[in-house]
Structure 1
Amino acid sequence: MRIASQRRKPRRLLITGAAVLLTVPVAVLVSSTPAVAGTTRFERPTSISYTDAKQPTVAFPVGTTDRVPVGTWASDEGKHTSRAYFTFDLTPYQGKDIIKAYGVTGESSVTDCAQPRKIEIWRTATPAQPPTWKTAPRVYERGGDVFNSPACPASYLELDLTETLRQAVADGQDSLTLMARIAGKHEKNKRLSRWITPLGISIESNAAPDVPSALTVAGLACADGRLIGTTVPVLSAQVTDPDKLDGFAGDQVTATFAWWPADRPTERTEWTSYSTYAPRRISYTVPEGGMVHGGTYAFSVRAADQHASSDWSPECRFTVDTVRPPAPTVTSTDYPAGWSQPGHGGPGIPGAFHLSAPGADDIAGYYYGESGPYTYVAADESGLATISHAPTRSHSNRLYVQTADHTGNRSAQTTYEFTVRDTAPRITDGNPDGAIGEPRELTFTPGMEDVVEYTYRLNDGDPATVPAGTDGTATVTVTPRKSGWNRVTVTSRTSGGLPSGEAQLQFYLATEPTVSSEQYPIGGGEGALVGTPGTFVFRPGMPGVTEYVWSVAGGPERTVAAEADGTASVTFTTTFGGFHWMEVYSRTADGTVSEAASAYFEATSWAPTIESADYPIYQQSGGPGVAGEFTFRPAHDGVTGYVYTFEGEEERTVTAGADGVATINWTPQSYPADRSGWVRLTVRATMGSIVSDGAEHAFVLNRLAPTVSSTDYPPTGGGGPNIPGQFTLTAQMPGTTEFVYRYNNEERTVAAGADGTATITLTPRYDGGHYLYVSSRTASGITSGEDYYYFYVHYQG
């Protein structure tokens, strides 16, 4: 079919945020304005079709992205008159208030933009099947006219459908069908016909918040007979709203708290919270003086958004009880109070502690603990409790205890102080000066009676158990293989199964090797010249060393075998001046590893200096084909030559004069576009067999790309599609013999004239902006950098 449309010059359109609705891939949007309640969804039709008076018994269902005709239009088959039908699912809006609803469509083509826009939207009955012209559904009322727009075709058009949606939802409809047509008597006018995109509806709706739930008072869930221990409780409730959408913020809601004395409901106090996004637990603190001890109160909560409120929640009742129980009394025959030595029991040996609160008539239990009253034990009917507690340390100990009543009120804290006997064994080290890997004989002596065994551990190794002799002692041998701090722990046990406290023996094993060098003094001082091989001697810090592992400046680790006396020598050649860091550790044949030694030394720099008037450092100059002179000067007597390289090229050498100075000439062969013209020259001096650290000289090449001019197609615009034009290329690089140019992804060459210019002819195929890319070459293959010429081709309409 052929659709006529007015040809227009391309122009930029400012598309509003609402226009985005036409291209949103999902049908759910949420307003970004925090103060707006409810949610906004962009609903796409569940069914789209159009009818054709030329084929009155045929329905034309289409997809969600297809365009549909409205009005009278022509094709090769003749004249057609069409109306479009769009059906929407309204089930998500049942029981909700419709706040705003806007229909959104757009024009994909227009027969005559000089004619007025006459698109109407009508509400119809919802057909069971896509309708035909002959079976068109019943029309109810006009929903409205599409708002006008100065654009044509207009990619975004809208109309107000608020009342239409409100009425459909109020009538309990599960679906809504809207018909688009050209208005009444204009429907047969071919000049007014359009092809439009499927109608969508942006619907802002709102449901009332849910009744608040999960009410709490003073952090406790509401329950019959609830007691709280404060006159300023925190009341809270969980507030939710049906308008919450997954992945997005839902409604902003408030919670209104109402509370009153249970026997005086008219003395009601209400407080409304700030607005916040649901779901949210919202809290309110009853102000000072509002409640009193012994009073019974009730509270209820309701939620509201900008448009609707929930019902009040079921009430929550509670009674205020702020009387604290008395502090407890603590007694124990196993661990009597006081600091008398040597104490009783021992670490890990449990004892019975009796807890009571004389004179109290409401005791639920007690909180107790060695570091604070954190563990709870319930009291019996008489308000008493007995706990079993095993101290964890010897000498001075404390037990902290509080009484708790049935409300949860706690008493002042009682501190029970007692002394625990030191039962830990004693450890005697038979080889206190032993080195790593050397055995140590340890003797364990009991710290309590009737010891039958000891359990000990070296560092993080597995524990071992040995029996005690008839005198209660035991002897074991340990062989520490860990550098640095080592620890032996030991406990004992009696024949009755009582444990002792823990004893510890700690000792330090220094195992790191030492490093020395004649050429490079360790720890500071001026070292040899960079490039001078240095000998480094490693000496052991523990017995049995068979090899050393070393590295410099975080480089790769290397291994060297130790001599019979445990020493080793390595040679290292520096490549840069300044401080160096060497790390060394040793190993024995059985795999014992020493601590690492860090050695610092300094190498003396003698990097040369680089000078160039043709290519000054950090400046832009020269370019491809432009020779430059570079002078290398020594930083130390005796320099015989230099090793140098220009970035991207092979390394070269030059012999120095008697004064140690050398001069080279260099001609760039191309422009390094991948480095934006930057070139880095690296130079090292040589003196006999040693090489200095490097000096760098960085600079930027000029592109020397050809210039382009054209009177037919100046940058400001000219010519038109399929109109040839001449362009003059002028060389900037010395010795240019040809130009290389690219246009429309085709590369060509043209010879340069004796005056260094060439003229080419190009024929643009379309209007708008164009780019011509140009570079040049010499007969020897030197290439300039590439530049471009931008020109604009006028539209010829």
Structure 2
Amino acid sequence: MKTSLGARTRVAFASIAAISLALLLATPASAATGTPTTPTELFNADQACSTDASAPLYVAGRGGLVVEGIPGDSDSSVTELSVQYQIWPLSDPTKIATASNQYALAGNESSANLGGGFLTDGQSYAWQARTVDASGAASAWSAPCYVADDDTAPAAAPTVSSVNYPSGQSNQGGAPIKITLDANGTSDVRGFVYSWVGSLPVAGVASIGEHGIPQFQDPYSDPKYFARADALGGSTTVSLVPPQASGFLVLTVASLDRAFNESPTTRFYIQVKFDGPTVTQLSHPKEFGKPTTFEFTPDPGVEAVSPVVSYTVVHLGQNQTTTTVKASAQGTAKLKITLDGIYGDTLQVSSTSADGWVTQANWWTGGEADTTPTVSSDVYAENGTSGGVGVPGTFTFAPKFKGVASYTYTFSDGTTGTVKAKGQGSAHISWTPSQGGWYDLNVYATTESGIQLAAYDYYFTVN
């Protein structure tokens, strides 16, 4: 069992600061006129104590038992208090172990570790607490709290099965997966923990509230990860929707006993038929970067189980964007997307059904795109040796797409500039070398909508 360490630490630091201030301002013990009061808000292992001997709280006591209570005094000016705890096995009440917290703060939880090395697996214990002031006066002991030490995890992994997604065959997706979990003959299993991502969440976590009072979170209140068995050592059936369907799902499951000890895990494998939506490109604009209309159609098997209500579209272009579009009453949807990937565009589209099922993603790609400009010269041929020092040459830039507004160029000698496109989108510049040798000309186009396209490197040598 684990607690929220960050929250607990903050309370501890706050308590230390408060204690220091309280000690400076405290009335001398001799002046106190009140009497210590029995601690309240008794907790063990961050859970409220059980005062019913027939229904003890089960804890894993390998490292002892952390107990806590809130001390007080009838005189509100008294802050210099301590809390004493004692524990004994029900089988032998004369065998008592004790612990204390000498720096307790009135009105706040004060903890101590009882029974470190004292608790025995399988034994039941009672513990109680009392408040003691600086003069040594003590309150009455609290009513006993009862715990049972359980350090042994369930030996057998649970059995896992599904009536609508049986393992070992290809299943139609769309419906929540009905999973039956069974303790597999282990008599002290209280429930189960499961996950689609392999690692299992921790059961029995507590946050820390006002005055340091633990706020225990019952794991079985979260059906996304935990389920309580119908009886001790029994079974249960849950309906689960994975975060997103894939062709191969793996559910990891462990049994939990009453102390939240975890059994070995079972992995249940589910194969799901491809159930992604159909993606259809409806328009094909000739100009680069203009909106393109797509239509999304649900997988018939998914739609038959539960109506598709929306589509999630991930566009991989110049940037990655995610868009959710609502489906029509027929389960289809249309979306305009600006295809701006200078090396090509890809869409990943999945659908979500009314019952929460998220399908596998269908991929659409427009293929690799070449958005570099075409570069040519009347004198300086690409990858060739020509011209000479002082010999001017004309360089022509031409587009592979409509809608080019300008070209930006840089020669390796430092000459740079931007020239507007004209006519069919082409442009011309004149350049004269000042020395011979190898040169590189880097050119890229910018569209009318401001998209910078891929650059082209044009290599040549001057005589």
What's the TM-score bracket when you normalise by the shorter of the two chains?
Answer: 0.5 to 0.7
Q: Secondary structure at the match of 1:361?
A: coil
SS in 1 for 2:289: coil
CA contact (8 A) 1:441 1:475 kept: no
Q: 1:265 and 2:93 equivalent? A: yes
- Structure 2 counterpart of 1:275: 103
Q: 1:226 offset after TM fit, Å?
A: 1.8
Say whether residues 1:502 and 2:340 are aligned partners: no
Tell me what 1:229 maps to: 59
Post-superposition Cα deviations, 1:510-536, rounded to whole Å, max 9, x if no partner, equal 9999xxxxxxxxxxxxxxxxxxxxxxx
Distance 2:372 2:76 in 1: 65
Shift of 1:295: 2.3
Contact 1:213–1:237 under 8 Å retained in 2: no
- Matched AA of 1:356: D
- Of 376, 380, 387, the match for 2:230: 380
CA contact (8 A) 2:346 2:365 kept: yes
Show the 5 A alignment for 1:659-738: none
Cα separation, 2, equivalents of 1:256 and 1:512 = 80
- Work out whether residues 37 and 306 of structure 1, in 8 Å CA contact, stay in contact via their aligned partners in 2: no
Amino acid at match of 1:281: E
Aligned equivalents of 1:213 and 1:506: distance in 2? 66
SS in 1 for 2:142: coil
CA displacement at 1:432 relative to structure 2: 9.4
Give 1:215's aligned residue: 42
Q: What CA distance in whole angstroms lies between the structure 1 residues aligned with 2:122 and 2:335?
A: 71
Flag the 1:380–1:461 CA change in 2: closer, same or farther, 3 A. Answer: closer
CA contact (8 A) 1:228 1:319 kept: yes
Alignment of 1:552-591 (within 5 A): 588=448
1:344 aligned onto 2:171: yes
Alpha-carbon shift at residue 448 of structure 1 (Å): 5.8
Q: CA deviation at 1:370?
A: 1.7
Task: Give yes or no for the alignment of 1:296 onto 2:99.
Answer: no
> Which residue in 2 is equivalent to 1:463?
325
CA offset digits 1:347-381 (Å, max 9, x no partner): x4323222222433344333333235552223335
Distance 1:594 1:385 in 2: 57
Cα separation, 2, equivalents of 1:376 and 1:295: 27
User: Hey, what's the Cα distance between the residues in 2 that align with 1:362 and 1:34?
Assistant: 43
Q: Return the letter of the residue paired with 1:234.
A: L
1:290 to partner: Cα distance: 1.2
Determine which of 325, 338, 361 is the counterpart of 1:480. 338
Residue 328 and residue 33 in structure 1: after superposition, are their counterparts in 2 closer, same or farther (change >3 A)? Answer: closer
8 Å contact kept, 2:41–2:48: yes
Find the aligned partners of 2:404 and 2:61 in 1 and give their Cα distance.
75
**Post-superposition shift, 1:307?**
3.8
What SS does the aligned partner of 2:122 have? coil
Aligned to 1:318: 147
Which residue pairs with 1:417 in the alignment? 269
- Separation in 2, partners of 1:302, 1:561: 88
Deviation at 1:218, TM superposition (A): 2.4
Q: Distance in 1 between matches of 2:372 and 2:25?
A: 71
Distance 2:281 2:246 in 1: 23
Distance change >3 Å, CA 241–CA 547, structure 1 → 2:
farther
Q: Distance in 2 between matches of 1:561 and 1:544?
A: 15
Contact 2:59 2:258 in 1 (8 A): no
SS where residue 264 of structure 1 aligns? Answer: coil
Name 1:332's counterpart in structure 2.
162
Deviation readout 1:58-96 (Å, 9 max, x if unpaired): xxxxxxxxxxxxxxxxxxxxxxxxxxxxxxxxxxxxxx7
- Deviation (angstroms), 1:209: 5.3
Q: Indicate how the Cα distance of structure 1 residues 244 and 543 shifts in structure 2: closer, same or farther if over 3 A, else same.
A: farther
TM-score of the two chains, using structure 2 as the length reference: 0.56
Equivalent residue number for residue 753 of structure 1: none
Inter-partner Cα distance in structure 2 for 1:512 and 1:210: 83
TM-score (norm 1): 0.35
| Counterpart contact for 1:292–1:320, Cα < 8 Å | yes
1:418 and 1:448, CA in 2 relative to 1: closer, same or farther beyond 3 A? same
1:607 corresponds to which residue?
Answer: none
Q: How far apart, in 2, do the equivalents of 1:272 and 1:498 lie?
A: 54
Is the contact made by 1:238 and 1:279 (CA closer than 8 Å) also made in structure 2?
no
User: What residue in structure 2 maps to residue 72 of structure 1?
Assistant: none
Cα distance change on mapping 1:506 and 1:241 into 2, 3 Å: farther
- Cα separation, 1, equivalents of 2:322 and 2:22: 62
Deviation string, structure 1 residues 441-475 (Cα, Å, up to 9, x no partner): 65768766596898654644451547999xxxx99
Conserved? CA contact 1:332–1:353, under 8 Å: yes
Change in CA separation of 1:237 and 1:462 when aligned onto 2, cut-off 3 Å:
closer
- Per-residue CA shift, 1:452-499, capped at 9, x if unaligned? 898654644451547999xxxx996844066679653434699x9987
SS at match of 1:463: strand
Deviations 1:106-152 (A, max 9, x none): xxxxxxxxxxxxxxxxxxxxxxxxxxxxxxxxxxxxxxxxxxxxxxx
In structure 2, runs of 5+ residues without a counterpart are 1-16, 202-224, 316-320, 374-397, 408-417, 428-444, 455-463
Structure 1 or 2, whichever has the larger Rg, is: 1
Task: Classify the secondary structure of the residue corresponding to 1:260.
Answer: strand
Corresponding residue for 2:451? 594
| Cα distance, 1:310 vs structure 2 | 3.9
Q: Is the 8 A contact 1:39 1:206 kept in 2?
A: no
* Cα separation, 1, equivalents of 2:137 and 2:405: 84
Structure 1 unaligned spans of 5+: 1-31, 42-95, 100-165, 167-204, 514-538, 549-559, 569-584, 598-797
Specify whether residues 289 and 436 from structure 1 end up closer, same or farther in structure 2 by C-alpha distance, changes over 3 A only: same
Amino acid at match of 2:149: V
One-letter code aligned to 2:362 = A
2:391 is matched with none
Matched position secondary structure for 1:259: strand
- Contact 1:227-1:321 within 8 A present in 2 as well: no
Where does residue 404 of structure 1 map in the other structure? 256
- Cα 1:448/1:432, change in 2 over 3 Å: same
- Aligned CA distance change for structure 1 residues 482 and 238 (closer, same or farther; 3 Å): farther
Asked if the contact 1:482/1:509 (under 8 Å) is kept, the reply is: no
After superposition, the C-alpha distances for 1:138-190 in whole angstroms (9 at most, x for unaligned) are: xxxxxxxxxxxxxxxxxxxxxxxxxxxx6xxxxxxxxxxxxxxxxxxxxxxxx
**What SS does structure 2 have at the residue aligned with 1:364?**
strand
After TM superposition, the structure 1 = structure 2 runs for residues 504-583 of structure 1, keeping only pairs within 5 Å, are 504-505=363-364, 544=403
For the 8 Å contact 1:259–1:299, the answer to whether it is kept is yes
2:447–2:453 Cα contact (<8 Å) kept = no
Q: Match of 1:352, as an amino acid? A: K
Structure 2 counterpart of 1:273, which letter?
N
Once the two structures are superposed, residues 2-26 of structure 1 have per-residue CA deviations (whole angstroms, 9 ceiling, x without a partner) of: xxxxxxxxxxxxxxxxxxxxxxxxx
More helix by share: 2
Given the alignment of the two structures, is residue 353 of structure 1 paired with residue 179 of structure 2, yes or no? yes
The secondary structure found in structure 2 opposite 1:352 is: strand
**Partner amino acid, structure 2, of 1:238:** G
Match of 2:349 among 475, 490, 497: 490
Q: How many residues align?
A: 346
SS in 2 for 1:397: strand
Q: Could you list the per-position Cα deviations for residues 634-653 of structure 1 after superposition, in whole angstroms to 9, with x for gaps in the alignment?
A: xxxxxxxxxxxxxxxxxxxx
Q: Is the Cα contact below 8 Å between 2:43 and 2:69 reproduced in 1?
A: no
- Cα distance in 2 for residues equivalent to 1:541 and 1:208: 92
CA distance in 1, matches of 2:138, 2:369: 74
The 3 A distance-change label for structure 1 pair 276 and 594 is farther
Contact 1:35 1:252 in 2 (8 A): no
Identity %: 23
Deviation of the 1:265 alpha carbon:
3.0
- Counterparts in 2 of 1:462 and 1:477: CA distance versus 1, 3 Å: closer
